[in-house]
Amino acid sequence: METREGRRRRAFTDEYKAEVVALCRSGDRSIGQVARDLELTESAVRRWIAQAEIDAGRREGLTRSEREELVQLRKENRVLREERDILRRATAFFARETR
């Protein structure tokens, strides 16, 4: 049985995304045409345009910096909960030992 390999996930710099957004905004070519010319998916280009509009304040949503902060806070929150749970278990353990 053959296995079908999908397209590998590629990473793009913020500068590259900004250039693609600028190409789309210039009005010379459609979003679909820009995506085809650069061998990108149209949905990815549309997401980049939407995020650029959010970052510029022209659209509702989380800016890139807010999103990064949210990820960091969630990670910190998870670590703090783990530490709290460890301390609870240690407290319960030592409370049993002293009786």
Q: What is the pLDDT of residues 40-94, one digit of tens each?
A: 999 999 999 999 999 998 999 999 999 999 999 999 999 999 999 999 999 999 9
Residues 6+ apart with CB under 8 A from 20: 34, 38, 40, 45, 48
Average pLDDT over residues 12-31: 93
Q: What are the structural domain ranges in the chain?
A: 11-61, 62-99
